[in-house]
Structure 1
Amino acid sequence: MPKAPNQKLKLLHLMQILLEQTDENHALSISDIIDKLARCGITAERKSLYDDLEALRAFGLDIETVKSRSVGYYIASRSFEPPELKLLVDAVQSCKFITAKKSAELIKKIESLTSVHEARLLQRQVYVQNRVKTMNESVYYNIDTIHSAISAGCKIRFQYVEWTVEKNSRPRRGGRFYEVSPYALVWDDEFYYLVAFETESASVRHYRVDKMKAISVTQTARDGAHHFADLDMALYARRMFGMWHAEDQVVRLRFANRLVGVVIDRFGRDIPIVPDGDDRFTVTLTLATSPQFFAWIMGFGSEAEILSPPTVRQALANQLEQIAALYR
């Protein structure tokens, strides 16, 4: 008797059924599997299915059995466990540089990594529709283009946009293209930033990737490599605030003891913390003293103070006076 056209695909369909429809709490009996294969146009006998299940086990699929009224089969372990998938879903849905549309697409793909039953639990965690998201759909692909340029050691060209008070985006510099040497991508405060060398100003610059448009890789080799030769990108990103470009300075700060967790979260556990009286401590750090840094310090009120250098201390005092003047 000739085999049905789909019989050669039986093992593949069996694997797909197990991966999509079973987990520790949802096993399928041999009868269930026969019925589901039949819906795919595939006939199967019990004996052949036992052999097929053993073949899939030998292939590496973690198929376990459970006994209740009848013997059931399910996938016991996968590349990603449900808690790991929930972390991925949370990261995607909270990430501002991914559009709401792309977030939904990625979450759907994440759901395919587990059973349909576990996927429903992931769906209950998805709240992307009303999150603040970027409106630049191309950012997802810009990241890949930038990585390609970094690997190839080439410069990139792009337009950089900004918002108007009418809530429209417009290119900066009257639409003139930027051309920079890309060296790294940094994810900071839920946004992706390009760290690059700008030949025109002979300095390291940062660009938010979701504000970059019409990006392309040039045939021109990068320059400015000496700026990045010994640069620890993790430490570099840590001393920036909002990736604002500013002069690095050695700054001594004093905080209330209750803020020690905040300081460690921001700068890491390896920073030297020096007790200063019963309820204060000091730290000495190399930081980019940008307006964002001052805003961070001011957020703690009288529980945070810049001790030195005097120029940075005075710069914050000047900013406080300007703000106070607005409310007089």
Structure 2
Amino acid sequence: MKSTRFLRTISYRSCPILGIQATRQTVYDDIEILNSFGYEIMTQHGRSNRYFVGDRAFELPEVQVLLHAVGASKFLTEKKASVLTEKVADLLGEVCADRLKALLSENGGDCGNERIYYNIDAITTALMEKRKLSFLYFDCDEKGNKVYRKEGERYEVNPLGMVYSGENFYLVCYRDKYDTPASYRIDKMDDAKAEDAKITKKKEFENFDLNTYKRETFGMYYGEKAQVELLFPSVLLDVARDRFGTIEPVKTDGGYILSTAVRVSRTFFAWITTFEGKVKILSPQNIKDEYRAFIENIYKSLS
């Protein structure tokens, strides 16, 4: 659909407010130049011709997607979200921008980090140039004040990528002395820096798949990685796809059997429990036993 935001109603005399002198011919010449650069300036003829941009890099639905992504990003402070909203909405012009911004919910947590963009920039530099990254890492106390971990000592890591999950933005990385990946919330970093030192290469991370790591880890938190068989009823097959990505389930009388790798943890068991017995762990037996013990402990705590 072509957009029809008007640039300006132009008379063929002058624009004293902007200090610009114009004639009919200079307007035609300017439009021809803009068209030659791909802006596709359209004309609505009348007593006073009006001109508008006939096409844009972003259409209305695309800008709406971007705006809602901004609104769902808990890692942005209210100030950062507001500025970014203005910039994204302005892709469609002032009139549409005002209407679209009204659709965006308020953003920002109690413990925001105005340096989020600097952190992302430092991480991006480190990733592109294969350099180590260092940063301070903090939590927030009951009053929203920063409390630095490791007594303010800097973390130094080898970055693998960034992941957006659960309304937060994470750095995925590994440290020199460990052979397993770790993740850190980018909004809880301070003073992130791309160091001069190159990353420490490890065989374990030569073919690291960021999407697989996200699917197996985020939402399930940390735990031993294991291959499990899960039974989903037909009505919850979309839930399985949302959680585990591209899957090849096996249809049975009771639904669909899905074999997938997960991080076995209390969070994984809690997620299974939300389906009130409709999703079942079929194997291996030791994980079924752990899940049964998890449920029994909850029941005992109620008595």
TM-score by length of 1: 0.83
| Alignment coverage as a number of residue pairs | 301
Gaps of 5+ in 2: none
Closer/same/farther in 2, CA of residues 227 and 198 from structure 1, 3 Å limit: same
Aligned residue type for 1:140: Y
Structure 1 residue 250: Cα displacement? 0.6
**What is aligned with 2:230?**
253
- Could you tell me how far 1:34 is from its partner in structure 2? 4.8
Structure 1 residues 66, 172: CA separation in 2 closer, same or farther (over 3 Å shift)?
Answer: same
The structural deviation recorded for 1:115 is 2.0
CA contact (8 A) 2:5 2:53 kept: no
Residues 28 and 215 of structure 1, relative CA distance in 2, 3 Å threshold = closer
- 2:265 and 2:53 mapped to 1: Cα distance? 53
Once residues 84 and 242 of structure 2 are traced to their aligned partners in structure 1, the CA distance between those partners, rounded to angstroms, is: 29
Tell me the residue number matched to 1:324.
299
Would you say the 8 A contact 1:158–1:214 is kept in 2?
yes
The whole-number CA distance in structure 2 between the counterparts of 1:243 and 1:216 is 29
Where do residues 94-133 of structure 1 align in structure 2 (5 Å cutoff)? 94-129=72-107, 132=109
Q: Which residue of 2 aligns with 1:276?
A: 252
- Is 1:141 the equivalent of 2:118? yes
| Residues 243 and 209 of structure 1: CA distance in aligned 2, closer, same or farther (over 3 Å) | farther
Check the 8 A contact 1:155/1:179 in 2, yes or no. yes
Cα distance per residue 1:237-264 (max 9 Å; x no partner): 1122336232221101112221111111
C-alpha contact (below 8 Å) 2:220/2:268 kept by paired residues:
no
Deviations 1:154-184 (A, max 9, x none): 2222222224455543122333322211111
Structure 2 partner of 1:154: 131
Q: How does 1:241-320 map to 2 (within 5 A)?
A: 241-242=218-219, 244-268=221-245, 270-277=246-253, 279-320=254-295
RMSD of aligned Cα (Å): 2.3
Residue-by-residue CA offset, 1:276-297 (whole Å, 9 max, x unaligned): 32x4221110112233222211
The share of aligned pairs that are identical, in percent, is: 32
The verdict on how the C-alpha distance between 1:147 and 1:225 changes in structure 2, with shifts beyond 3 A counting, is farther
Opposite residue 251 of structure 2, the aligned amino acid is P
Q: CA deviation at 1:218?
A: 2.5
The DSSP-based 3-state class of the residue aligned with 1:160 is: strand
Q: Please identify the structure whose Cα radius of gyration is greater.
A: 1
Q: CA contact under 8 A between 2:111 and 2:144: conserved in structure 1?
A: no
| Structure 1: tracts of 5 or more residues without a match | 1-22
Give secondary structure in 2 for the equivalent of 1:219: strand
- Which amino acid is the alignment partner of residue 227 of structure 1? E
Question: 1:321 & 1:108 partners in 2: Cα distance?
Answer: 51
Per-residue CA deviations over 1:59-86 (Å, capped at 9, x if unaligned) read 3221111235543221111221222112
The structure whose residues are more often helix, as a share, is 1
